[in-house]
Amino acid sequence: MILSLASLSKTFGTTKAVDDVSLTIPEGEFLTIVGPSGSGKSTLVRLLAGLETPSGGDLFLREARITDTPANKRPTAMVFQSLALFDHRSVGQNIEFAMKMKGVPALARRARAMELLQLVRLPAEYYSRSVTQCSGGERQRVALARAFASDPEILFFDEPLSAIDYRLRKTLEVELKELHQRTGRTFVYITHSLEEAMVMSDRIAIMQDGRIIQTGTPAQIYGAPANRFVASFMGEVNILTVENKGDGQAAFVEIGQPIAKPGGAYAMVRPEALAQGAGDISAQLTVTQRLMLGSRTQVHLSSETGAILISEIPGTAPDLLIGSTHSFSFATQDIAWMET
């Protein structure tokens, strides 16, 4: 483990921004910390980077305690949401800044900057270009090169892609994942976008109210959420209430269908698992809305009880017209059970 958090906390007045968080991060992992605004994820990464002082708990780099170690004394680097580039300096000067502060000779700085331009896939001639002449994606690459210039063991990212348009963001997500694979460094990434986390991460940690409530691989988080909050945060979802009838019998309240052995108080079924036709659990549902999503169609469906469920069908689904009623079903193996 390269980084270990032991009961880490941060309080601002009466507000606990980070509340008793313990976590271990293996060397070389791409860990993404995800949560809604106000969940404490940005405060947590600032604690890890040494930009905030904890109110309680400890932080260890391998086995050495670094809780009180200043940020500039840690083998880490940070890429901010604002990027924090120097607009009055060239690309090369931005990349070399940390090396210059450490007294690295000019020729060595330039040689390293040229290596880093190649690493982030920017042409060598960008060395002399003003950062104000760079596009949003190019500025992101300059910020990455500058972060790598200090040869950090861990790189922290605080929502660096949030201000970029969708198409470029998708490109940079793939490039960040490839950069992580090429360098083998430890990445700790903060975002409110579950899509970013799913694309890039080896492991995801979900935060709510200053606490980490679930960690796991993208597949584990998506397929077996810890509770309704995680399930809903992961994207579109059907959460059905299970009502016990006694004698081992129960039923889904929203669609009235029985089930023999419920595993919890709530059942989560993903939209792609709710399909047309007969199956283990079936119901007659009426189409109330159609949304085209490119290669698939999302339909909103109303049950006899008034519940609204969501299904996603490959293609254009021409027979699912608003107002039409169809049989939909899901398999028991596609249910994720939750108590809360």
Cβ–Cβ under 8 Å, residues 27 and 2: yes
pTM above 0.95, yes or no: no
For residue 247, pLDDT beyond 80:
no
Domain residue limits, the chain: 3-232, 236-338
- Which helix (DSSP H) or strand (DSSP E) does residue 167 occupy? helix 166-183
% of the chain with per-residue pLDDT over 90: 34
Cβ–Cβ under 8 Å, residues 185 and 27: no
d(CA 70, CA 77): 12
pLDDT of res. 208 = 92
Give the chain's mean pLDDT. Answer: 88
- pLDDT band, residue 233 (cuts 50/70/90): confident
Closest to 155 (Cα-Cα) out of 174, 180, 138, 181: 180
- Which helix (DSSP H) or strand (DSSP E) does residue 248 occupy? none
Q: Which residues, 6+ apart, have CB-to-CB distance to 316 below 8 Å? A: 292, 297
CATH fold group of domain 3-232: Rossmann fold (3.40.50)
Most confident of 78-82, 234-238, 259-263: 234-238
Task: Compute the average pLDDT of residues 250-259.
Answer: 86
For residue 228, pLDDT beyond 80:
yes
Cβ–Cβ under 8 Å, residues 191 and 162: yes
Cβ–Cβ under 8 Å, residues 134 and 92: no
Q: Which residue has the tokens 């791409």?
A: 30
For residue 305, pLDDT beyond 80:
yes
pLDDT of res. 286 = 94
For residue 235, pLDDT beyond 80:
no
CATH fold group of domain 236-338: OB fold (Dihydrolipoamide Acetyltransferase, E2P) (2.40.50)
What digits encode the pLDDT tens for the residues 316-338?
888 899 999 999 999 989 998 88
pLDDT of res. 146 = 86
What digits encode the pLDDT tens for the residues 127-165?
888 888 888 788 888 888 888 888 889 999 888 777 777
d(CA 107, CA 113): 10
What digits encode the pLDDT tens for the residues 157-216?
888 777 777 777 888 888 888 889 888 889 999 988 888 888 899 999 999 999 999 999
% of the chain with per-residue pLDDT over 70: 99
In this predicted structure, which of 27-31, 78-82, 188-192 has the lowest mean pLDDT? 78-82
The residue count of the chain comes to: 340
What digits encode the pLDDT tens for the residues 85-133?
888 888 988 888 888 888 888 888 888 888 888 888 888 888 888 888 8
- pLDDT band, residue 244 (cuts 50/70/90): confident
DSSP letters spanning 264-325? SSEEEE-GGG-EES--SEEEEEEEEEEEE-SSEEEEEEE-TTS-EEEEEEES--TT--TT-E
